[in-house]
């Protein structure tokens, strides 16, 4: 999965970036029903920035794969963290059938050697 990044022209500034995406994301691994979701991505940029329109494309590439929502959020965080070489926080708010909601939060860190 490729994530588009661009060079941060002002890496000396301490910033926090937050994107909120309101979209369907994934299929329930048990019922195979589509899930409604809001995905929030936050990170503190260093040398790279994410192309905002790339995240929904990345999520859409996984929409037809049945997977639990915890895994989906972890994949998004891991892919973005690797691409950005930064710590990334991802929250998924999912509406399941029967009116059940599920919130999943994860943080992906870049391990420095």
5-108, which class in CATH? alpha beta
Backbone phi, psi, residue 57, to 5°? -65, -40
Annotate 45-104 with DSSP letters as a single string: -SSEEE-TTHHHHHHHTTTTSB--HHHHHHHHHHHHHHHHTS-EEEEEEEE-GGG-EEEE
The pTM score is: 0.85
d(CA 111, CA 34): 34
pLDDT 10s per residue in the chain (113 long)?
A: 678 899 999 999 999 999 998 876 567 777 777 778 899 999 999 999 999 888 888 888 877 777 788 888 999 999 999 999 999 999 999 887 777 888 999 999 876 54
Virtual torsion, Cα 45, 49, 52, 57, nearest 10 deg: -110
List the domain boundaries for the chain. Answer: 5-108
């Amino acid at each position: 999965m490729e994530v588009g990044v661009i060079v941060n022209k002002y890496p000396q500034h301490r910033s926090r970036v937050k994107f909120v995406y309101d979209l369907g994301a994934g299929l329930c691994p048990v019922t195979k029903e589509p899930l409604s979701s809001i995905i929030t991505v936050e990170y503190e940029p260093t040398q790279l920035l994410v192309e905002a329109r790339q995240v929904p494309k990345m999520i859409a590439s996984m929409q037809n794969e049945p997977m639990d929502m915890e895994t989906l959020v972890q994949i998004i965080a891991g892919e973005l963290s690797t691409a950005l070489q930064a710590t990334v926080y991802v929250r998924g708010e999912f509406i399941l059938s029967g009116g059940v909601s599920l919130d999943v939060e994860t943080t992906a860190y870049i391990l420095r050697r």
